Amino acid sequence: MKRLEKLSTLRINPAKSLNFKYKNKKRTGLSGDTVATALYANGIRIFGRSLKYHRPRGLYSLDGESSNTCMQVNGIPNVCAETTLLADGMQVKAQNVAGSPERDLKGFMDKLDWAMPAGFYYRTMHKPAPIWPIALKQVRKAAGLGKISPTFQMPGTYDEIYPRADVCVIGGGPAGMQAALAAAENGLRVILLETRPWLGGFFDYRTVQNSAGESLAQTARQMAQQLDQKTNIRVLKQAAVVGVYNNNLVTAFQKGQGSDYFDERYVEIRATSVVVATGCIERPLLFENNERPGVMQIGCAHRLAHTYGLLPGKQAVFSVGHDLGLEAALDLFDLGLEVTCVADIREDGQDPILLEGLQQRHIPFFRGWVATCAHGTGALNTVTLATTTGTLEKEFACDLLVASAGATPLTGPLSLAQAKLAYEPYTGFFMPQALPANIQVAGRMLGLNHPAAIEASGRLAGILAAADCGASVDSRLKEARENMNQLPGPGPGCKLVTAPVQGRKTFICFDEDTTVKNVKQALAMGFDATELIKRFTAAGTGPGQGGIPGHNLPLLVAQYHGDVTATAMPTTVRVPLVPTYIATYAGTNHDMCKRTPVHASQKAAGGVIRRIGVWKRARYFSKDLSCRTEIENVRTNVGILDASTLGKFRIWGPDALKALQRVYVGDMSNIANGKVKYSAMCNEDACIIDDGVVVKRGENDYYFTTSTARAGATVEWIRYHTRYDGWQFHMVNLTDAFGVINLAGPNARKVLQKVTDADVSDGAFPYAGYREFMIKDAIPVRSMRLGFVGELSFELHVPASYMQSLWDVISKAGKKWGIRNFGLEAQNVLRMEKAHLIIGSESEQRTTLHDVGLGFLWDRNKSGTKTVGAVALRQTENQEGRFKLVGFKMEDPSRPPKDGAIIVDNRIKGYVCIARHSFTLKEPVGLALVEAQLAEEGTRLQIYEDECKGEHIYATVVPTPFYDPEGKRLRM
Partner 1 sequence: MAMTLTCPVCGKRNGYEFRYGGEEKGPRPDEADLSPRAWCDYVHMNRCLAGVQEEWWCHKDGCGVWFKTHRDTTTNLEVDKPEAQS
Q: Which is nearer to partner 1, 355 or 573 (CB)?
A: 573
Residue closer to partner 1, measured from CB, 452 or 873: 873
Task: By CB under 8 A, name the one of 122, 261, 724, 856 that touches partner 1.
Answer: 724
Q: Given the complex with partner 1, which of 684 and 759 has the nearer CB atom?
A: 684
Minimum distance of partner 1 from residue 724's CB (angstroms) = 4
Q: Is 435 in the site for partner 1 (CB under 8 A)?
A: no
Closer residue to partner 1 in complex, CB, 377/875: 875
Report 868-887 residues binding partner 1 (CB under 8 A). 870-872, 875
Task: Specify the stretch interacting with partner 1 by CB under 8 A; choose among 197-205, 599-607, 616-624, 718-726.
Answer: 718-726
Select from 276-284, 448-456, 826-834, 866-874 the region that touches partner 1 (CB under 8 A).
866-874
- Residue 717: CB minimum distance to partner 1, A: 10
For partner 1, which is the closer residue by CB, 426 or 720? 720
Q: Are 462 and 167 in contact (CB under 8 A)?
A: yes
Tell me: does residue 360 bind partner 1 (CB under 8 A).
no
Binding flags for partner 1, 760-799, as an x/- string (CB under 8 A): ----------------------------------------
Handedness of CA 767, 768, 773, 778 (dihedral sign): positive
Task: Return the residues of window 903-962 that contact partner 1 according to CB under 8 A.
Answer: none
d(CA 325, CA 282): 11
- Per the CB < 8 A criterion, the answer to whether 835 and 962 are in contact is yes
Pairing mode of beta strands 639-642, 738-744: antiparallel
| Interface with partner 1 in residues 268-327 (CB under 8 A) | 270
The smaller minimum CB distance to partner 1, of residues 716 and 757, is found at: 716
Taking each helix axis as running N to C, give the angle between helix 298-306 and helix 323-334, from 0 to 180 degrees, rounded to the nearest 10.
30
Q: Given the rule CB under 8 A, which of 246-254, 648-656, 744-752, 761-769 is the region that contacts partner 1?
A: 246-254
d(CA 301, CA 291): 14
Closest to partner 1 by CB, 715 vs 768, is 715
Angle of helix 552-561 relative to helix 530-537, nearest 10 degrees, comes to 120
CB of 872 to partner 1, least distance (A): 7
Which amino acid belongs to residue 20? F
Give the span between the Cα atoms of 693 and 597, in whole angstroms: 23
Is residue 968 close enough to count as binding partner 1 by CB under 8 A?
no
The SS3 of residue 573 is: coil
Cβ 874 to partner 1 shortest distance, Å: 8
Under rule CB under 8 A, residue 246 binds partner 1: yes
- In this structure, are residues 262 and 158 in contact, taking their beta carbons and an 8 Å threshold? yes
How many CA atoms does the CB half-sphere of 492 hold within 13 Å?
11
Residue placing its CB nearer to partner 1 in the complex, 116 or 715: 715
Which CB sits closer to partner 1, 257 or 879?
A: 879
Q: Considering only 464-472, 481-489, 825-833, 865-873, which stretch makes contact with partner 1 by CB under 8 A?
A: 865-873
Strands 239-245 and 249-255 come out as: antiparallel
Residue 37 buriedness (CB in 10 A; 0-12 / 13-18 / 19+) = buried
Task: Check residue 716 for interaction with partner 1 (CB under 8 A).
Answer: yes
Q: Which residues fall within 8 angstroms of residue 785, CB to CB, at 6 or more apart?
A: 765, 766, 767, 768, 769, 792, 793, 794, 795
Shortest reach from residue 716's CB to partner 1, in Å: 6
Q: How far apart are CA 506 and CA 516, in angstroms?
A: 6
Using the minimum distance from each CB to partner 1, give the nearer residue, 103 or 874: 874
Q: Judged by CB under 8 A, does residue 685 bind partner 1?
A: yes
Choose, by CB under 8 A, the member of 76, 125, 208, 249 that binds partner 1. Answer: 249
- Which residues, 639 to 678, sit near partner 1 by CB under 8 A? none
3-state secondary structure of 917: strand
In the complex, what is the shortest distance from the CB of residue 247 to partner 1, in angstroms, rounded to a whole number? 5
Ramachandran angles phi, psi of 118, nearest 5° = -55, 130
Q: Which is nearer to partner 1, 723 or 949 (CB)?
A: 723
When the beta carbons of 386 and 711 are compared against partner 1, the nearer one is 711
Q: Which is nearer to partner 1, 602 or 848 (CB)?
A: 848
In this chain, which of 24, 247, 670, 861 binds partner 1, going by CB under 8 A? Answer: 247
* Binding residue for partner 1, selected from 573, 609, 715, 857, defined by CB under 8 A: 715
Residue 106 or 866: the one with the smaller Cβ distance to partner 1 is: 866
Asked if residues 685 and 640 have their Cβ atoms less than 8 Å apart, the reply is no
The CA distance from 653 to 718, in Å, is 14
The residue count for the chain? 972
CA distance 522 to 357: 45
Interacting residues of 608 by C-beta distance below 8 A, sequence separation 6+: 618, 619, 620, 621, 823
DSSP code, position 105: G
Segment contacting partner 1 by CB under 8 A, of 242-250, 256-264, 427-435, 963-971: 242-250
Question: Could you give the count of Cα atoms lying within 13 Å of 922 in the half-sphere of its Cβ?
Answer: 0
In the complex, what is the shortest distance from the CB of residue 416 to partner 1, in angstroms, rounded to a whole number?
A: 11
CB of 249 to partner 1, least distance (A): 4
Of these, 88, 214, 228, 684, which contacts partner 1 (CB under 8 A)?
A: 684
Shortest distance in whole angstroms from residue 436 CB to partner 1: 11
Going by C-beta distance under 8 Å and a sequence separation of 6 or more, which residues neighbour residue 612? 645, 708, 824
Is the N-terminal amide bond of 163 cis, ω within 30° of 0?
no
**Cα 117–Cα 123–Cα 127 angle in degrees, nearest 5:** 135
- φ, ψ of residue 314 to 5 degrees: the values are -110, -45
Q: At what angle do helices 628-636 and 824-832 cross, to 10 degrees?
A: 60
Binder of partner 1 out of 108, 152, 720, 954 (CB under 8 A): 720
Closest CA to 181 of 217, 251, 232: 232
**Residue 719 binds partner 1 (CB under 8 A):** yes
723 interacts with partner 1 by CB under 8 A: yes
> Least distance to partner 1 from the beta carbon of 244, Å?
9
Please report how close the Cβ of residue 652 comes to partner 1 at its closest, in angstroms: 16
Shortest Cβ 871–partner 1 spacing (Å): 5
Note whether 263 binds partner 1 by CB under 8 A: no
> What's the CA gap between 336 and 341, in Å, rounded?
15
Give whichever of 273 and 821 is closer to partner 1, judged by the CB atom: 273
Among the candidate windows 60-68, 140-148, 375-383, 720-728, which touches partner 1 by CB under 8 A? Answer: 720-728
Task: Select 209 or 875, whichever has its Cβ closest to partner 1.
Answer: 875
Nearer to partner 1, 101 or 243 (CB): 243
Q: Which is nearer to partner 1, 395 or 716 (CB)?
A: 716
Angle in degrees, CA 927, 930, 933, rounded to 5: 130
Sorted by sequence, the CB contacts under 8 Å of residue 382 that are 6+ apart come out as: 374, 375, 376, 395, 396, 397, 398
Query: Which member of 603, 866, 882, 952 binds partner 1 (CB under 8 A)?
Result: 866
Least Å from the CB of residue 450 to partner 1: 36
Q: What is the C-alpha end-to-end distance of the chain, expressed in Å?
A: 93
**Which residues form the interface with partner 1 (CB under 8 A)?**
245-247, 249, 270, 684-685, 715-716, 719-720, 723-724, 866, 870-872, 875
